[in-house]
Amino acid sequence: MLICCNAQFSASFSYVLFSFKNSYRKIEFGICPHCGCLKFKDYRWRPAGEDKEFCLTGKKALQKLEYWRKKVNNIKHGTKGNQNVYYGDFQKSRLKDENGNPIFLQLRKNFNGQSEIIGKIKTVIRKEM
């Protein structure tokens, strides 16, 4: 509940953010129905009895609302740096064996562009009788 003009009114946007240490944070934003003032309230609760309340009005309240909307709605779900999905691939090399056939490299690649040589495969041509 937000307070303005000696009256309480409900918030039009509210987010409840939980953390891992049994504490939570509640963010509320609303417009006063009497004077039209923008109100923002950031309430933090911790189990040790530490309650903190932070209130803003006007343009700063609108800026904080946009900041928290971006932060809540744009959550990263992993990174591209440490992918552990690999696939096998063959690459023709310039090396030739004693018969002049090309030698292929057997590679282990991931989707970050890294590759590792697993082995070399010689080409075998069968002669039919």
Collapsed DSSP state (helix, strand, coil) of residue 6 = coil
The pLDDT of residue 77 is 64
Helices and strands per DSSP (H, E), number in the chain: 1, 9
Percent of all residues in the chain with a pLDDT value above 90, rounded to a whole number: 0
- pLDDT band at 71, cuts 50/70/90? confident
| Mean pLDDT computed over 22-33 | 86
Domains of the chain: 2-73 (3.10.450), 86-122 (no CATH)
User: What average pLDDT does this structure show over 85-104?
Assistant: 83
pLDDT at 67 over 60: yes
Of 15-19, 36-40, 61-65, 80-84, where does mean pLDDT reach its minimum?
A: 80-84
**Residue pLDDT, tens place only, 104-123:** 888 888 777 788 888 888 77
Q: What is the mean pLDDT of residues 69-89?
A: 72
What average pLDDT does the chain have?
A: 81
Average pLDDT over residues 47-76: 83
What is the DSSP track for 55-74?
Answer: EEETHHHHHHHHHHHHHHH-
- Distance between CA 25 and CA 20 in Å, rounded? 12
